[in-house]
Amino acid sequence: MLDKKLFLGYFLLLSSILFSQKGMEIQISAKKIEAGEPLMVVYALSNYNERGMMGKGFEPFELVGGPQVSRSMNTSYINGTMTSSQTNSYTIYLACKKLGKFQVPKQSFQLSDGTAIEAQAIEIEVVKPGSLPRQAQQRQPDPFDPFAAFNDPFAGQPPAGRAQQQNPSALNGAFKDEKEINLSKDIFARIHVDKSKVYIGEPVKASIKIYTSLNSKGFDAEKVPNFNGFWNQDLPLPDKLEMKREVINGKEFVSVEIKKILLYPTKTGTLEITPLKMKTIALVPVMRQKQTTNRQPGSLMEAIMMSMGMSMNTMGVEFKEIPYSFSSGSEKITVLPLPAEAPASFTGGVGKFSFNAYADKKELKTDEALKYRIELSGSGNLPLIEAPKNIWDETIEVYDPILKENYNVQPTISGTKIWNFVAVPHAPGSYTTPSLEFSYFDLEQKKYVTLTAPSTSLTITGKPTKDKEKGKKYGEFNYAKQKIRESSLYSMDSDLPNSAFYGLGVLPLLMALGLGFLPKYERKEERFISGKKISERVIQQMKQAEVYLKENKKEPFYQELTRTYWNYLSHKFKLETSNLSRTNIAEKLREKGVSFELITKMINLIDRSEMGLYTAYGSQAMQELYDDSLNILNDIDKQIV
Partner 1 sequence: MRYIISLLIILSIQSTPAQYAYKAIDAYNKADYPAAIVLWEKELKTKNCNKAQAYSLLGNAYFKNKNFAHAIANYEKSLRENYNQEDVKFNIKVIRAKLGLDTENKILFTNDYLRKVSFLLSGFTLKLLIIILSCLLLAYNTYRFFKGDLKFGFLKNYLFAFTLVLLCLYFLQEQFRYEKGFAIISIESTGYENMNLKGESKALRVGEMVKVLDEIGVTIQVETEANKHYWIQKSNVIYI
The residue ranges that bind partner 1 (CB under 8 A) are 478-480, 482-496, 500-501, 504-509, 511-513, 515-516, 518, 520-521
The answer to whether 355 and 449 have CB atoms below 8 angstroms apart is no
Closest contact distance (angstroms) between CB of 486 and partner 1 is 5
Indicate the residue among 1 and 509 with the shorter CB distance to partner 1: 509
Closest contact distance (angstroms) between CB of 466 and partner 1 is 17
Indicate the residue among 501 and 596 with the shorter CB distance to partner 1: 501
Closest contact distance (angstroms) between CB of 425 and partner 1 is 23
Helix (H, G, I), strand (E, B) or coil at 443: coil
Sign of CA pseudo-dihedral 169, 174, 178, 182: negative
Indicate the residue among 77 and 521 with the shorter CB distance to partner 1: 521
Indicate the residue among 121 and 509 with the shorter CB distance to partner 1: 509
Identify the CA nearest to 328 among candidates 512, 193, 127: 193
Sign of CA pseudo-dihedral 63, 69, 74, 78: positive
The answer to whether 291 and 409 have CB atoms below 8 angstroms apart is no
Closest contact distance (angstroms) between CB of 617 and partner 1 is 35
Helix (H, G, I), strand (E, B) or coil at 61: coil
Indicate the residue among 488 and 620 with the shorter CB distance to partner 1: 488
Indicate the residue among 493 and 525 with the shorter CB distance to partner 1: 493
Closest contact distance (angstroms) between CB of 522 and partner 1 is 9
Helix (H, G, I), strand (E, B) or coil at 111: strand
Helix (H, G, I), strand (E, B) or coil at 167: coil
The answer to whether 635 and 598 have CB atoms below 8 angstroms apart is yes
CA–CA distance, 217 with 162 (Å, rounded to integer): 9
CA–CA distance, 392 with 374 (Å, rounded to integer): 14
Closest contact distance (angstroms) between CB of 518 and partner 1 is 6
Closest contact distance (angstroms) between CB of 526 and partner 1 is 17
CA–CA distance, 191 with 328 (Å, rounded to integer): 6
Gyration radius from the chain CA atoms: 68
CA–CA distance, 45 with 69 (Å, rounded to integer): 11
498: how many CB neighbours lie within 10 A of its CB?
Answer: 10
Closest contact distance (angstroms) between CB of 480 and partner 1 is 4
The answer to whether 389 and 398 have CB atoms below 8 angstroms apart is no
Indicate the residue among 180 and 486 with the shorter CB distance to partner 1: 486
Indicate the residue among 484 and 641 with the shorter CB distance to partner 1: 484
CA–CA distance, 119 with 393 (Å, rounded to integer): 89
Indicate the residue among 399 and 502 with the shorter CB distance to partner 1: 502
Indicate the residue among 485 and 574 with the shorter CB distance to partner 1: 485
CA–CA distance, 63 with 38 (Å, rounded to integer): 9
* 356 strand-pairing partners: 375
Closest contact distance (angstroms) between CB of 467 and partner 1 is 14
The answer to whether 218 and 212 have CB atoms below 8 angstroms apart is no
Indicate the residue among 511 and 611 with the shorter CB distance to partner 1: 511
Q: Is the peptide bond before 159 cis (omega within 30 degrees of 0)?
A: no
Identify the CA nearest to 39 among candidates 132, 117, 111: 132
- Helix, strand and coil content of the chain, in percent to the nearest 5, comes to 25, 40, 40
Closest contact distance (angstroms) between CB of 520 and partner 1 is 6
Closest contact distance (angstroms) between CB of 465 and partner 1 is 21
